[in-house]
Amino acid sequence: MSAREDEGMDLDWGDGDYGRTAEVLEPASEIVVELAGVSEGDRVLDVACGTGNATIAAAVRGAGVVGVDLSEGLLGIARGRADAAGLPDVVLRAGDAVDLPVEQGSFDVALSVFGVIFATDADAAVANMLAAVRPGGVIAIASWISRGPICAAGMALRKAFPSDSGTEAFDWTRPEGVRGLLERTGAREIAQSEHELEFRAPSAAEWFDEQQRNHPVWRWAGRQLPAERWAEVRRESVEALRAGSDEPLEFRARSPYVITRAVR
């Protein structure tokens, strides 16, 4: 689901159990925090922090972190995790990436792990991240690359929701496009590195059904479509997942993503 399709729809990321997906995505946050060079005493902003993966990874390194997200429910989970880990220097704030509730130039690092990609205005959201850091500060963004079976399943879902807005959403799945976006905002020293996350389930069908039960995007989509159309989406998705699985007897697939790091 892209930002433009997201616009105006009542997707609540607190619906279902996004935390299950967040556990699978957690290694990406560790790498983003590492590549951003977060160290003790840094002031770090985590945009679209969700349940707090990158927020916590940065706070564990001794940074003071502000996590911002649209979902109060997910912020509550992030709060619980930070408290349980004994990390008092974590502030969690409700807010939108296109209208960040933070002071300009007040951070050393601003990062976003598969989060800012959902903002309705990509240029404004990235410009806000850059403006949030001091001159010489770092921004780092993780975004999916359009390859692999999970992406193919996402495409099957997207096909069921043709955009009628007439406006093309920014395509975050092309690393060169992301580089161009950062160049437009005036970011310097742009560097990109490719990584992979592994997804596993007993079978392709069970991976899909787990999303349908717990992931807010799949749950939302399933509620919008008539049963027959949803059955088609499921069939197409499971076929794509099965075809792209690395293992014949279970579902196991790697999804590529890019981390783009730049300096203000």
Ligand X SMILES: C[S@@+](CC[C@H](N)C(=O)[O-])C[C@H]1O[C@@H](n2cnc3c(N)ncnc32)[C@H](O)[C@@H]1O
118: contact with ligand X by CB under 6 A = yes
CA distance 32 to 58: 10
Question: Residue 48 or 92: which CB sits closer to ligand X?
Answer: 48
Taking alpha carbons only, the member of 156, 168, 100 closest to residue 132 is 100
111: contact with ligand X by CB under 6 A = no
User: Which member of 2, 53, 143, 173 binds ligand X (CB under 6 A)?
Assistant: 53
Question: Residue 92 or 182: which CB sits closer to ligand X?
Answer: 92
Question: Residue 26 or 236: which CB sits closer to ligand X?
Answer: 26
119: contact with ligand X by CB under 6 A = yes
255: contact with ligand X by CB under 6 A = no
User: Which member of 42, 69, 181, 218 binds ligand X (CB under 6 A)?
Assistant: 69
CA distance 175 to 261: 12
Q: Contact at 8 Å (CB) between 139 and 261?
A: yes
CA distance 48 to 62: 20
Q: Which stretch binds ligand X (CB under 6 A): 95-103, 173-181, 204-212, 224-232?
A: 95-103
Question: Residue 161 or 242: which CB sits closer to ligand X?
Answer: 161
CA distance 19 to 141: 20
3-class secondary-structure state, position 111: strand
